[in-house]
Amino acid sequence: MQLYDVNLSARLLLGTAQYPSPVVLTDAIAASGCEVVTVSLRRETANGGGTNGFWPLLQATGVRILPNTAGCDSAQEAITTAQMARAIFGTNWIKLEVIGNADTLQPDPFALVEAAKVLCADGFAVFPYTTEDLIVADRLLDAGCRVLMPWGAPIGSGRGLRHVDALTSMRGHFPDVPLIIDAGIGAPSQAAQVMEIGFDAVLLNTAVAKAGDPVAMARAFGQAAGAGRLAFEAGLMPPRDMAVPSTPVLGMADLGLGGLR
């Protein structure tokens, strides 16, 4: 999988919030096999990399950092946050979030496109958190984004893919664009479904961080994402309306007639 100019082998990206301890976080990252984690700027302080030790902790894991603009509700706030994140974390990667509704945490498509245009022109590799709307997706690509991150369901809901048909259409409409489901995934089976319909990766946080055993859950999600991708590449059988016997009937004994056919 290639995201901008970086080649990755893992199909799972993890968030870093809400874990019970730093040790559990780092163990979960290792167990998942992920190579990219998202970090909110609010988890770290400016000037010299911060004082709370969170940044050195993540550096020690060896994963790539994807800062995000979580909590921003305007284009200008997201742009400023992205610029600060680049200075602190030393990366031009940014997960762009501009929230338009406080209840659903749905992205604001107008502010999202506006911020994406400015950040792409400023040299950022933008990962926009968006909906499955094809028009918005087109506008984000026109703005310079080379990755799209549609939601599966509202953040933290664990409801999985609410609009499978729309997301499947999105995959077909943008066959050469890396697509990552971001938000709403609550179970490994849902992560596998994401991959089985042809998406490139899945990003999640709460389902692992709030699990009874986050490390085991992280491992389960990593394996599910890999299995789903392998199934997609192998070629899933299409659903059928009627039963089809798996055992051939030719040559079977016809006991009712007392003979063979």
pLDDT tens across 225-247, in order?
Answer: 999 999 999 999 888 888 887 77
Taking only the tens place, the pLDDT of each residue in 51-92 is 467 778 888 889 999 999 998 999 999 999 999 999 988 999
The residue annotated as part of the active site, out of 95, 117, 219, 229, is 95
Residue pLDDT, tens place only, 110-122: 999 999 999 999 9
Q: Is 210 a catalytic residue?
A: no
pTM above 0.85, yes or no: yes
Confidence of residue 50 (pLDDT cuts 50, 70, 90): very low
CB half-sphere exposure, 230, CA atoms < 13 A: 8
